[in-house]
Amino acid sequence: KEENTSLAQTAEEDKFRLSDVGKAIKNPYLWWASIIMFLIYTIYSNVSYFTPYLSSQVGMDVSDSSFLGIIRGYVFYFLSPVGGYIADKLLKSTLRLYGYGFIGLAVLFFAATRVPAGEDSVVIAIVISLLASAFAMMLYGVMWSILNEIDIPISYAATAIGISSMVIYLPDLFVPAMIGSWLDNYGEEAGYFRMFIFFGICCMLAVVLSLTLAERVKMMKAAKEIK
């Protein structure tokens, strides 16, 4: 009977109420997590710029560059479970995976700004492009598990996802146009330099937000256990 009572209480708590929409909107952790996911989507959705970069800046054959683009865009999907395994089994936290993963991405993007144009840089440029794409895929593949980590209640989980989606996919509205403007107005070398700097700054911001939120969540859960 006690078990049935507990299940009934849980079911009642998980029911959707109109007031829960306000709770989702007012949840600061939801907006915090949404900005982090906005940043990984910014990177994930634009690593495809490595394809024209490799051909125009380091002289790689267009067909070879496109082939690497296929690897980055499709083969690397298999890295998503790897990111999930690291988050679940090793770090016990998706936010910590994001913090450390974004450090790696920042290093790669800032390193890309130091790669000189010309065929002598093909190998290092390829390595950077593949590693950056691999990191981006691992992080993007486990993106939504952040909402579980910040304890979004089931009662307004769908509402929370809807709110997050409005933030996460905003880069599609302006980032490609911004990068295209840089390439058109400053030339390809300076345009790609600005792009990598922009990506690097996004990653540094994501490192701070991810690790700080991870600590906040840890403290919040510890406080609940004490109660």
Angle, nearest 10°, between helix axes 28-44 and 122-141? 150
Q: Each residue of 24-52: pLDDT tens digit? A: 888 889 999 999 999 999 999 999 999 99
Residue 130 has what pLDDT?
93
What value does the mean pLDDT of the chain take?
87
Model confidence at 22, pLDDT cuts 50, 70, 90, reads confident
Which residue pairs from 163-168 have beta carbons closer than 8 angstroms and sit at least 24 positions apart in sequence?
163/24, 163/25, 163/30, 163/34, 164/30, 164/33, 164/34, 164/37, 167/31, 167/34, 167/35, 167/37, 167/38, 168/34, 168/37, 168/38, 168/41, 168/143
Contacting residues for 81 by C-beta, under 8 A, at least 6 apart: 141
The model's pLDDT over 44-101, given as tens digits with 9 standing for 90+, comes to 999 999 999 998 888 888 888 888 888 887 788 888 889 999 999 999 999 999 999 9
CA angle 118, 201, 184 (to 5 degrees): 50
Comparing CA positions, the residue from 127, 166, 218 lying closest to residue 31 is 166
Residue 3 pLDDT level (bands cut at 50, 70, 90): very low
Please tell me the predicted confidence (pLDDT) of residue 21: 75
* Residue 159 scores a pLDDT above 90: no
pLDDT in tens, 186-225: 999 999 999 999 999 999 999 999 999 999 988 887 777 6
Residue 151, token pair as written in the block: 């304890």
